[in-house]
Structure 1
Amino acid sequence: MDYKTFQPHPDLESLISCYWTLEIPKTQDTQRQRIIPDVTIEMAFILGDDIKRFTSEDSFIIQPRAMVLGHTIAPFYIEPTGYVCTFAIRFYPYGFANFVTVPIKTLENTETPLAVLFEEKTAKKLEQDIIHAANTKQRIKIIESFLLNKLNEQATVNNIVKTTIDTLLATKGSTSISQILKEDLSKRRQLERMFIKQIGVSPKQLGKLIRLQSALKAMLNEDESLTNIAYQNDYYDQSHFIKDFKEFTGVSPKEFLGNENMTLSSLFYK
């Protein structure tokens, strides 16, 4: 597997976490990969063979070749049908709302073709330009031109939403919403409404996902016990950590480590 990340243009770095590419040679023995929940929204272009996403044990859809994958709050399985070559844009939780007018909640746990979110002719041209670009550098130039033009057309995300997310990211999800708002209940109700509209999930749920991602990264990159990782990420104890881990991934931390079906998810956290 060849996974690479690239940094965005300075005018987009507050909205985009990174661009990434993934290339996997075709093999005879393809395996389903469990994808765990993420706080980000991604725009992806499938440049290789089709990729299946399973909707049940035996049923699947073919992912659109130019799509936006909204917030995922439950794990799901994908399986390549051959050669994998993907170019994608990873937006911060509040990032993508600056480029579209549809409610972000409608994108949750689903793949939405670009032609549904943008004017069809524009979306098709973008897809073809990305497909026929000579390399990743050209693809980044194409998508940045598209996004910078769109950014000028859209209203920006409310400042209280951005400030809350920035705090959650900076503290790895360990700061409570009450602490951020300093117990102002009227602001909390307002924040809840704006989060659902502009981010697609509640602030509490987003905080839990950010904290889990921090713990998962520590699991994969540090030689620490689960108990130490739990305390370092402000879980009450190891059992609290395991409970949250199972809620979002469907497996325990020990089951996650060394599981061949988790190879792709693990790659994104190393």
Structure 2
Amino acid sequence: MEFKYYTEKDKNKLINKLFKLSFSEDDLPLKTTILPIGYPTIAYLFGDEQISVYNNVTRKLKKLIFTGQHYGAYDYFVNDDGLTYGIELHPTAFYKILNTDVSILTNQHFRGDLLDEKFSKNIEDIFLECKNDETYYIKTIIHFFNNLDLTIDDDVVQIDNAIDLIFKKEGMLQINDLLRELPYSQKTLETKFKKIVGLTPGRYMKLIRFSALMRKYEGNEINLNHLIYKYAYYDQSHFIKDFKIFFGKSPKSYFKKDFPIIEKYLKD
């Protein structure tokens, strides 16, 4: 298995990272878990379909797929070798591009053409044209995102400011911390944040805090028990509760197994 990130950015700051994921016969069959880290994605899956299972709902994934914010891990199955090119997006990118309430994408994988046929067709053509040339893929995607017409109003600017603060503090904030920085009531903040990002701010902050902790753990930066307290979990029981929310399994079950995709994208 090869998982590779590219760090090139577009001028509109829609792209967090570009990525490439490929499987060979030696990797198969593969069953792993995908941990959400707060970024929606667009991906093109070349070859046979892959499968995701979230909350006992099975979805077949093939060709162009838009994935919204997930508040919990999903299982991922690969039975055939193949290649995927993808785009990890800024948390507000879907709203800016599609100009729609992105909470409809939460915990979902969508065919792109069901959301915006023209945008989907244009980006699908890029994936197909650039399949065999990584350098050309990066250059063409960046150019395409540089020239998109976007929805950026005052609400988007304010929610972008909130996202910046959440990442700066690694999710270790309270709602009141955001309210001190933004011109909204709590109800208005929660409504606008969910519409533009896909999750409520409270859930998003918990997700970012947890994913930051797991990045540190997978990077072998610090002992797990120290991380639990560093990230403001009052005790192990609170950490275990969040772990089960985001992974759907206990820490004991997780640490007994290998999750190669998680290890790679949390380390990069």
2:89 corresponds in structure 1 to 91
Q: Contact (CA 8 Å) 2:48, 2:62: kept in 1 or not?
A: no
1:53 corresponds in structure 2 to 52
- Go from structure 1 to structure 2 and tell me whether the alpha carbon gap of 1:11 and 1:255 turns closer, same or farther (over 3 Å shift): same
Deviations 1:210-267 (A, max 9, x none): 000011112211263332111111211222112111111112233222413x222222
Deviation at residue 153 of structure 1 after TM alignment: 4.2
> 2:201 aligned with 1:203, yes or no?
yes
Q: Contact (CA 8 Å) 1:226, 1:238: kept in 2 or not?
A: no
1:124 corresponds in structure 2 to 121
2:7 corresponds in structure 1 to 7
Query: Alignment partner of 1:213: what SS?
Result: helix
Question: So what's the TM-score if we normalise by structure 1?
Answer: 0.88
Q: Contact (CA 8 Å) 1:178, 1:184: kept in 2 or not?
A: no
Find the aligned partners of 1:32 and 1:257 in 2 and give their Cα distance: 16
Q: Contact (CA 8 Å) 1:15, 1:92: kept in 2 or not?
A: yes
Give the unaligned 5+ runs of structure 2. none
> 2:144 aligned with 1:146, yes or no?
yes
Find the aligned partners of 2:203 and 2:14 in 1 and give their Cα distance: 20
Q: Give runs of ≥4 in structure 1 deviating > 6 Å.
A: none
Deviation at residue 9 of structure 1 after TM alignment: 3.1
Q: Contact (CA 8 Å) 1:53, 1:79: kept in 2 or not?
A: yes
Query: Alignment partner of 1:32: what SS?
Result: strand
Q: Contact (CA 8 Å) 2:228, 2:235: kept in 1 or not?
A: yes
Query: Alignment partner of 2:152: what SS?
Result: coil
Give the unaligned 5+ runs of structure 1. none
Find the aligned partners of 1:184 and 1:29 in 2 and give their Cα distance: 48
Q: Contact (CA 8 Å) 1:227, 1:237: kept in 2 or not?
A: no
For 1:1-270, what aligned pairs fall within 5 Å after superposition?
1-12=1-12, 14-27=13-26, 29-54=28-53, 60-120=58-118, 123-133=120-130, 134-150=132-148, 152-156=149-153, 158-182=156-180, 187-222=185-220, 224-260=222-258, 262-270=259-267
Find the aligned partners of 2:113 and 2:184 in 1 and give their Cα distance: 38
Q: Contact (CA 8 Å) 1:37, 1:249: kept in 2 or not?
A: no
Find the aligned partners of 2:117 and 2:217 in 1 and give their Cα distance: 43
Deviation at residue 186 of structure 1 after TM alignment: 5.0
Query: Alignment partner of 1:230: what SS?
Result: helix
Find the aligned partners of 1:204 and 1:60 in 2 and give their Cα distance: 28
Query: Alignment partner of 1:251: what SS?
Result: coil
Identity %: 23
Deviation at residue 18 of structure 1 after TM alignment: 0.5
Residues matched between the structures, number:
265
